[in-house]
């Protein structure tokens, strides 16, 4: 969540000034959105991080200038994915109406995915960086990134390609780092939706290797599957590591 200029988060305020329970209590007959993922065999789909917002139970904030302000309160809920019998799909349903005394409303859903066994890409890998996808259900700003998003209406199937990128000999940890790369910062604002299906397609044979700059001011050395090499100063955000670009330089 964006917290620029905020130094202290104080206890909740309510419109009534009385103590209000912040618990979620979705109505049994309320509407839900089903989030489903076609899970590749060698990839872990991490639990959903679900944010609910409340206009009633507001957060009192003290900004860096000393001014007192407030914002909608928020409630974080972790929702695991469950396997669907007889398929490679994992899914779960999330309530639009969080209910409770605060009148919680669904704001956004975010989840990450990563390789189950990153050691298959080399025994020097010390860390792996998962990729993620975000769905926004209200008019609040996106919870991360540069504020850009794609607006979609109705039920949707999202299919995206991914491949491994290995940052070699990263000096801060003394080993290699594995990234999942595709299209960066996947963020969608969804309207009138009941079901979202996400299908990540992993191309584990398209391995891109990256060497960190050896001296200040130098760029990253990017090595593609076909053996081509280029110098890049914008890694890991460069277009030179987009899936379409890498596919052209595949083996």
Residue 18 placed within a domain:
no
Place of tokens 């200038």: 65
Residue 22 placed within a domain:
no
Question: For residue range 95-133, what is the model confidence (pLDDT) as tens digits?
Answer: 999 999 999 999 999 999 999 998 889 888 888 889 999
Quick check: 54 pLDDT over 70?
yes
Residue 115 placed within a domain:
yes
What is the signed CA dihedral for 230, 234, 237, 242, rounded to 10 degrees?
-20
Residue 4 placed within a domain:
no
* Lowest mean pLDDT, pick from 25-39, 82-96, 175-189: 175-189
Please say whether the beta carbons of 129 and 177 come within 8 A: yes
Quick check: 13 pLDDT over 70?
no
C-alpha 163/C-alpha 203 separation (Å) is: 5
The pLDDT of residue 171 = 62
* Lowest mean pLDDT, pick from 88-97, 121-130, 140-149: 140-149
pLDDT band at residue 238 under the 50/70/90 scheme: confident
Residue 211 placed within a domain:
yes
Q: How many residues are there in the chain?
A: 251
Three-class DSSP labels, the chain? CCCCCEEEEEEEECCCCCCCCCCCECCCCCCEEEEEEECCCCEEECCEEEEEEEEEEEEEEEECCCCEEEEEEEEEEEECCEECCCCCEEEEEEECEEECCCCEEEEEEEEEEEECCHHHHCCCEEEEECEEEEEECCCCCCCCCCCCCEEEECCEEEEEEEEEEEEEEECCCCEEEEEEECCCCEEEEEECCCEEEEEEEECCCCCEEEECCCCCCCCEEEECCCCCEEEECCCCCCHHHCHHHHHHCCC
Residue 105 placed within a domain:
yes
Task: List, in sequence order, every residue forming a beta bridge with 110; answer none if it has no partner.
Answer: 49, 134
Question: For residue range 173-182, what is the model confidence (pLDDT) as tens digits?
Answer: 678 999 999 8
Question: What total number of domains does the chain contain?
Answer: 1
Residue 139 placed within a domain:
yes
Residue 20 placed within a domain:
no
Residues of the chain above pLDDT 70, percent: 89
Tell me which residue range forms the domain holding 228. Answer: 30-59+69-248
pLDDT band at residue 212 under the 50/70/90 scheme: confident
Quick check: 16 pLDDT over 60?
no
Quick check: 232 pLDDT over 70?
yes
Q: What is the pTM of this model?
A: 0.85
Tokens describing residue 161: 């390609």
Residue 209 dihedral angles phi and psi, to the nearest 5°: -110, 140
pLDDT band at residue 32 under the 50/70/90 scheme: very high
Residue 103 dihedral angles phi and psi, to the nearest 5°: 65, 50
C-alpha 204/C-alpha 163 separation (Å) is: 5
Give the closest residue to 108 by CA, choosing from 80, 137, 88, 128: 137
- Tally Cβ neighbours within 10 Å of residue 80: 11
């Amino acid at each position: 969540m964006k917290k620029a200029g905020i130094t202290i988060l104080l206890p909740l305020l309510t419109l009534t000034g009385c103590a209000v329970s912040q618990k979620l209590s979705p109505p049994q007959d309320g509407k839900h959105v089903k989030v489903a993922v076609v899970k590749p065999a060698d990839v872990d789909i991490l639990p959903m991080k679900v944010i609910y917002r409340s206009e009633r139970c507001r957060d009192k904030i003290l900004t860096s200038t000393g001014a007192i302000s407030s914002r909608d309160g928020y409630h974080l809920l972790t929702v695991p994915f469950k396997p669907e019998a007889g398929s490679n799909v994992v899914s779960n349903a999330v309530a639009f109406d969080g209910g409770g005394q605060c009148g919680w409303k669904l704001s956004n859903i975010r989840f990450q995915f990563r390789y189950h066994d990153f050691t298959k890409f080399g025994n020097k890998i010390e860390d792996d960086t998962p990729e993620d996808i975000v769905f926004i259900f209200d008019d609040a700003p996106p919870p991360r990134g540069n504020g850009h998003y794609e607006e979609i209406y109705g039920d949707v199937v999202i299919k995206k390609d991914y491949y491994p990128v290995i940052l070699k000999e990263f000096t801060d940890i003394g080993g290699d780092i594995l990234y999942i790369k595709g299209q960066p910062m996947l963020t969608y604002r969804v309207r009138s939706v009941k079901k979202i299906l996400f299908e990540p397609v992993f191309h584990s044979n398209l391995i891109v290797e990256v060497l960190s700059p050896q001296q200040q001011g130098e760029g990253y050395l990017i090595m593609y599957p076909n053996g081509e090499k280029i110098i890049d100063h914008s890694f890991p955000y460069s277009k030179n590591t987009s899936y379409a670009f890498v596919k052209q330089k595949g083996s």
